Structure 1
Amino acid sequence: MGNALRFLYGECCSKPITTGSGGGNWANQQQSHGHHGVSTSTGGVSTLGRDIHQFELTSQVPEGLSKHVVSSKKAQANWYGKLSEAWAQAVPPPKSPEEVSTFVINTLKRHKKVDVEGLLSFYGLPLTQPAVEVTTGQAPPVANGAKYELNTLPVDEKAVADGDTVTVYVSTLNPREAACVPQTVQQAAVERAKARAQKNYTKADALHKQITDAGYRMLNIRNEEILARKYRIRLRGIDAPESAMPYGKEAKEELIRMVVGKSLKVLIFDEDRYGRCVGDIYCNGVFVQERMLKKGLVWHYGAYDKRPELEKWEKDARAKRIGLWASANPEKPWEIGMEEESS
């Protein structure tokens, strides 16, 4: 038995066991120990250690776990086998609930997210990896002076509103996102997966509405359900024609061709009056605003962005009379009052 498991089992055996799920006792635990019969302090840590040790002796998983996960007993046994192997090699051993939660997530990261979350909930452990604390009091620097960086899931075609606005989703497995997912959203995601497994789609749809109302969504990525946070992005430094204006359709179609089905890097600099994040978007290393300007499909929004390279790319497109610059005097959306909030 490795150092980590010795620690966990030692903690369990050196104190009176008042919480836990192993040995068939979970159903008899007092409600004061939390929603799943395990306290959110170190009780869940020691109980998990005890259950892993019990699995090594009997090859049996805890009674009651199946109420919190969707996978079979055989799959559950596989988890405990992996956890036992990993804990035997852990140096130093995880001690706090947060450390043990992170260890479980990393060990079982190839398994269904809903099962990992169900397992953690069963022991009263944190459902997400804790954020890394920044002791300087300042966030780490991001390229070009941006406030923060987003790395998105693949973009859906319906997410492109027009030539300068796109909705993106970021997985909550991302450490930055994991630190701020509301507990109600996490629990709704777990309960929704159980409802779908039971083919209770009415309940599953109601839970998903709860998730989307909070600014999140369950996305199916490569046959895996992923909880993701929604961000509406206004492309920084450019302004596209509105849909009813000349080249409005072409601008939207070009943005769709560039980003749909791809994961994006988004550098966020600000927020506009509509609550959209204002940022630079990169797709497979290509700066999206640069491509849109060079193709003559958008204006450089010089009133708000003074970057000389954007101004140059617009001038080059004007000189070549491509895109909207085929007209001697194309309509400007900010002058005719057509700039509206994109849905």
Structure 2
Amino acid sequence: MGNALRLLYGHCCKPTTTESDSLGPHGVSAATVGVSALARDLFHFENTAQVPVGLNQHVVSSKKAQANWYRKLVESWREARPPPKTAEEAARLVIKTLKNHQKADVEGLLAFYGLPLPQTLVQLSTGVPTSLPQGVQYEFQTLPVIATILVIYFLGTQGVQYELQTLPVDAKAVADGDTVTVYVSTADPRESSNVPTEVQAAIIQREKAREKRNYAKADELHKKIIDAGYRVLQFQNEDVLARKYRIRLRGIDAPESKMPYGKESKDELVKLLQGKCLRVLVYGTDRYGRCVGDIYSNGIFAQEVMLKKGCAWHYTAYDQRPELAKWEREAQMKRVGLWASSNPEKPWEWRKDRREGR
């Protein structure tokens, strides 16, 4: 963990001269309070066994107890895969690690780092929805494979035919709040048997061109591979041939990019998916050729997050799951996200108006 913390601290937590007038209690500016500050202090504790100066002002327990917290947090951070990158992820790690400690201490520690308090975090479910719609055709699952009894259960009872593995998501692959492009490695047995002959030939020719340093030819061959719906990606320092899939999140409809709250909705999905390996249960294909499915990011059900944070509507025309309706109602009652507006325009009505030229 030391290397990961050192990297994060080195890039994020060294205050500049211009920041010196606004340093927080733990030696970083307001701009860097959060994940980077916590990483810095854990790295410092790992090397010195000293808790940060000023923490006493925020918590009620002794220095000895504080040291115990940091030992636990260091271990939790070491075991986290991947380590926290957002304030919410860091807050959840702290809350989970210190769940048996005094509420005042946990909230004080979070406040010390400017992290979200427990009552402000969206409470997420675990596992798959209990009322998966009928007609699931197949499942994508991320690298590494995450096998659970629940998934096996639903594979057997809901018509899922097979399971695929996807590579980490690039932020640019998120089109809006309900659509993302993913890539599935052709090392997957099902994918490897379906790679077109012309793509296989282009891969071989591209490698030969690269060996001869004929990069113009290699790029030309890669374009041919891309046009066929594949791409050569770098994964774990190796070139991986992957197949492209466009995924439409089933059961939700997010604001279009030109609509109010469209950017915020997309940004939330980027934050949830970027750099993650996703598990996707696919139900079918829409008229635009996109796979329609449920997305899981590190075990978190993406549609649940988007609905609970008010970043999307429940798309009742295509999905009647009661969980989705419940999560939408929760966001409406809290007036979060798009529900902060008294009468947000529904995206399907917005699209209809544009088609009819209104």
**The TM-score by the shorter chain falls in which range?**
0.5 to 0.7
Find out whether 1:200 has 2:197 as its counterpart.
no
Aligned-partner Cα distance in 2 for 1:168–1:339: 30
Change (3 A) 1:338 1:147: farther
Task: Give the equivalent residue in structure 2 for 1:270.
Answer: 284
Of the candidates 298, 301, 305, which is equivalent to residue 312 of structure 2?
298
Q: What is the TM-score with the length of structure 2 in the denominator?
A: 0.54
The one-letter code of the counterpart of 2:280 is V
Of the candidates 245, 251, 255, which is equivalent to residue 231 of structure 1?
245
Find out whether 1:335 has 2:349 as its counterpart.
yes
Aligned to 2:349, what secondary structure does the other structure show?
coil
Q: CA deviation at 1:177?
A: 0.4
User: CA offsets per residue over residues 244-293 of structure 1, 9 Å max, x none?
Assistant: 11111011001111111111111110100000000000011000000110
Change (3 A) 1:337 1:217: same
The one-letter code of the counterpart of 1:154 is P
Aligned to 2:242, what secondary structure does the other structure show?
strand
Change (3 A) 1:264 1:339: farther
Q: CA deviation at 1:142?
A: 5.6
Aligned-partner Cα distance in 2 for 1:188–1:282: 33
User: CA offsets per residue over residues 307-336 of structure 1, 9 Å max, x none?
Assistant: 000000000100111000011210111012
Aligned to 2:167, what secondary structure does the other structure show?
coil
Aligned-partner Cα distance in 2 for 1:146–1:183: 28
Change (3 A) 1:244 1:267: same
Task: Give the equivalent residue in structure 2 for 1:94.
Answer: none
User: For residues 133-172 of structure 1, what are the structure 2 equivalents within 5 Å?
Assistant: 141=155, 144-172=158-186
Aligned to 2:293, what secondary structure does the other structure show?
strand
User: CA offsets per residue over residues 101-155 of structure 1, 9 Å max, x none?
Assistant: xxxxxxxxxxxxxxxxxxxxxxxxxxxxxxxxxxxxxxx9467444543321011
Aligned to 1:220, what secondary structure does the other structure show?
strand
> Where does structure 1 lack aligned partners over 5 or more consecutive residues?
1-139
Of the candidates 297, 314, 329, which is equivalent to residue 283 of structure 1?
297
TM-align CA RMSD: 1.8
8 Å contact 1:193–1:204 — kept in the other structure?
yes
The one-letter code of the counterpart of 1:211 is I
Task: Give the equivalent residue in structure 2 for 1:221.
Answer: 235
Task: Give the equivalent residue in structure 2 for 1:311.
Answer: 325
Find out whether 1:322 has 2:336 as its counterpart.
yes
Change (3 A) 1:143 1:208: farther
Of the candidates 246, 269, 273, which is equivalent to residue 259 of structure 1?
273
The one-letter code of the counterpart of 2:310 is G
8 Å contact 1:163–1:252 — kept in the other structure?
yes
Aligned-partner Cα distance in 2 for 1:223–1:232: 25
The one-letter code of the counterpart of 2:170 is D
Aligned-partner Cα distance in 2 for 1:145–1:300: 23
Aligned-partner Cα distance in 2 for 1:218–1:206: 13
Aligned-partner Cα distance in 1 for 2:254–2:245: 19
8 Å contact 2:164–2:188 — kept in the other structure?
no
Change (3 A) 1:338 1:258: farther
Greater Rg over alpha carbons, structure: 1
Q: CA deviation at 1:164?
A: 0.2
Task: Give the equivalent residue in structure 2 for 1:248.
Answer: 262
The one-letter code of the counterpart of 2:297 is C
Task: Say how many residue pairs are matched.
Answer: 201
8 Å contact 2:284–2:291 — kept in the other structure?
yes
The one-letter code of the counterpart of 1:317 is A
Aligned-partner Cα distance in 1 for 2:267–2:163: 25
> Where does structure 2 lack aligned partners over 5 or more consecutive residues?
1-153
